[in-house]
């Protein structure tokens, strides 16, 4: 029998009710890291007679979450199976764990077997547009109920500025997209502070060093720092020596996940420590799995990794995260630090050592909060606004600024974003061409600002 925690009852009740509605819109439920998604899956399955697909973003997460479901809920939940080419299994059970890559062309087959409901794990990892691979599968399968689960219901969106340049901002998965957003509503938000208050998150301690971020450069879409600039900033700030100092000054930390900017840096650090190993995306698969197994077994104190193990790596004994990299992505920052939040009887707290200026940029992850006003927004420490504004302007706006942002009249578009005169100033485009656009284009709420900008120059 599963005993629900205080903060699990309401979202589970809402999830069950969602799957019992007649024709619900595709929706999201926001659950912090370590909330217990397998429990929600079990209760949903137990309260429906329909077949359910539990979609996973990768083979690794599929295996991990299937085993967790089977261990926690095997006797309580429904019969579960795996449909994955990587596993060599094609089981269609009451609950079927699958990756979209394995079932993308099988919509009609799943429809024939009576599947009508779907839970999407890590929903933020999928394209938010309705015409994606997932959207096409759902259309072919006739799935009627789709509920996404995520701790970070945000996605990067690239926009064009007044001068024709590009910038990126974090938007909610339910925000309108040019191609049509897939998820329409958020039915529940579990806040991080709730997990902390109830004692379901491990206490985090933060240790930072002064970091000169002047060498960090945004990429062309202003969505993230370039790898080259992250490396230059790491070198200029003495990143390798800083990581060594952090490890040497905290000998009580026994299960450390350290993030380095390059494979060469990770290897150099690993050679400095006898009880450590390296993991990165292109390494030999068998060696990668062996290093992870040795880390889990306690044979390694430190696992130096490069751009991996930031999402879904569940090992409760991690008692220290060393961030030797800088990121402009709040989602990546949350996912990385989330690896240390799980409760374990062998640790009293977890130490976050930030050597890349990330805590100064985003604040403590315990302070993250989603709030609904005119729209859903994400705020950080001190009410700093983290979503709906250009990434390179994070830190300039707070909760107090949102009213002004909501009421501010958007400036006219000055540069034509597409077509024959793309890149030219609208005021310099021939009037007959602009009049032709006004007469023939299909204008709607998404492009109304462009229409007004054209009309203003006639």
Q: What is the pLDDT along the chain (458 residues), one digit of tens a residue?
A: 678 888 999 999 999 999 999 989 999 999 998 888 888 888 888 888 899 999 998 887 888 888 888 887 766 667 889 999 888 899 999 999 999 999 999 999 999 999 999 999 989 888 766 667 888 899 999 999 999 999 889 888 887 776 777 888 888 888 776 566 788 999 999 999 999 999 999 999 999 999 999 999 988 877 889 999 999 999 999 999 999 999 999 999 999 999 999 999 999 999 988 899 999 988 998 998 899 999 999 999 999 999 886 665 778 999 999 999 999 988 889 889 999 999 999 999 999 999 999 999 999 999 999 999 888 999 999 999 999 888 888 888 999 988 877 776 567 888 998 888 998 999 999 999 999 999 988 887 678 889 889 998 98
User: Residue 67: what pLDDT?
Assistant: 85
Q: What is the pLDDT of residue 300?
A: 96
CA–CA gap between residue 454 and residue 450 (Å, rounded): 6
Q: What is the three-state SS of the chain? A: CCCCCCCCHHHHHHHHHHHHCCCCCCEEEECCCCCCHHHHHHHHHHCCCCEEEEEECCHHHHHHHHHHHHHHHCCCCCCEEEEECCCCEECCCCEEEEEHHHHCCCHHHHHHCCEEEEEECCHHHCCCECCCHHHHHHHHHCCCEEEEEECCCEEEEEEECCCCCEEEEEEECCCCCCCCECCCEEEEECCHHHHHHCCCCCEEEEEECCCCCCCCCECCCCCCECHHHHHHHHHHCCHHHHHHHHHHCCCCCCCEEEECCCHHHHHHHHHHCCCEEEEECCCCHHHHHHHHHHHHCCCCCEEEEECCCCCCCCCCCCCEEEECCCCCCHHHHHHHHHCCCCCCCCCCEEEEEECCCHHHHHCCHHHCEEEECCCEEEECHHHEECCCCEHHHCCCCEHHHHHHHHHCCCCCCCECCCCCCCCCEHHHCCHHHHHHHHHHCCCCCCCHHHHHHHHCCC
Residue 140 tokens read as: 């072919």
- Per the listing, tokens 């961030």 go with 323
Contacts (Cβ under 8 Å, ≥6 apart) of 395: 361, 384
CA angle 139, 15, 153 (to 5 degrees): 70
Exposed / middle / buried, residue 187 (Cβ in 10 Å: 0-12, 13-18, 19+): middle
Hey, what are 14's tokens? Answer: 């809402």
- Nearest by Cα to 172 from 366, 375, 329: 375
- What integer pLDDT is reported at residue 142 of this predicted model? 92
pLDDT given at position 321:
97
pTM, two decimals, is 0.78
Integer Cα distance of 451 and 436 in angstroms: 12
CA–CA distance, 279 with 307 (Å, rounded to integer): 9
- Structural fold of domain 8-195: Rossmann fold (3.40.50)
CATH number (3.40.50.2000, 3.40.640.10, 3.20.20.140, 3.40.50.300) of 202-367 reads 3.40.50.300
Per-residue model confidence (pLDDT) at position 65: 85
């Amino acid at each position: 029998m599963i005993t629900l925690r205080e903060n699990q009852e309401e979202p589970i009740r809402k999830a069950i009710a969602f799957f019992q509605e007649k024709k619900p819109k595709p929706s999201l439920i926001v659950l912090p890291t370590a909330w217990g998604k397998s429990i929600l899956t079990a209760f949903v399955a137990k309260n429906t007679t329909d077949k359910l697909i539990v979609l996973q973003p990768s083979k690794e997460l599929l295996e991990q979450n299937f085993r967790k479901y089977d261990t926690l809920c095997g006797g309580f939940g429904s019969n579960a199976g795996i449909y994955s080419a990587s596993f060599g299994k094609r089981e269609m059970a009451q609950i079927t764990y699958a990756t979209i890559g394995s079932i993308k062309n099988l919509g009609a087959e799943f429809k024939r077997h009576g599947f009508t409901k779907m839970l999407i794990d890590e929903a933020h990892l999928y394209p938010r547009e309705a015409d994606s691979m997932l959207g096409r599968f759902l259309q072919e399968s006739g799935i009627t109920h789709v509920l996404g689960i995520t701790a970070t219901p945000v996605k990067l969106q690239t926009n064009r500025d007044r001068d024709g340049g590009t910038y990126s901002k974090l938007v909610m998965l339910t925000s309108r997209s040019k191609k049509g957003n897939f998820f329409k509503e958020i039915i529940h938000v579990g806040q991080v502070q709730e997990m902390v208050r109830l004692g379901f998150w491990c206490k985090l301690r933060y240790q930072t060093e002064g970091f000169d971020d002047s060498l960090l450069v945004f990429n062309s879409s202003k969505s993230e720092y370039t790898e080259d600039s992250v490396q230059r900033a790491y070198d200029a700030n003495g990143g390798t020596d800083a990581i060594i100092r952090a490890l040497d000054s905290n000998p009580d930390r026994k299960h450390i996940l350290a993030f380095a900017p390059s494979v060469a840096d990770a290897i150099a650090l690993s050679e400095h420590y006898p009880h450590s190993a390296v993991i990165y995306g292109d390494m030999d698969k068998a060696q990668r799995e062996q290093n992870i197994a040795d880390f889990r077994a306690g044979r390694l104190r430190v696992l130096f990794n490069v751009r991996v193990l930031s999402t879904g790596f569940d090992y409760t004994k991690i008692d220290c995260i060393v961030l030797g990299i800088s990121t402009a992505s709040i989602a990546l920052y949350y996912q990385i630090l989330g690896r240390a939040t799980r409760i374990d009887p062998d640790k009293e707290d977890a130490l976050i050592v930030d050597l890349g200026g990330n805590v100064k940029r985003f604040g403590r992850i315990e302070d993250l909060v989603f709030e609904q006003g005119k729209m859903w927004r994400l705020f950080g420490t001190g009410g700093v606004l983290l979503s709906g504004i250009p990434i390179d302007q994070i830190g300039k706006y707070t909760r107090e600024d949102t009213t002004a942002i909501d009421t501010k009249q958007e400036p006219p578009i000055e540069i034509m974003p597409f077509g024959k005169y793309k890149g030219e100033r609208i005021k310099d485009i021939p009037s007959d061409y602009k009049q032709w656009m006004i007469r023939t284009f299909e204008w709607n709420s998404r492009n109304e600002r462009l229409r007004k900008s054209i009309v203003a120059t006639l």
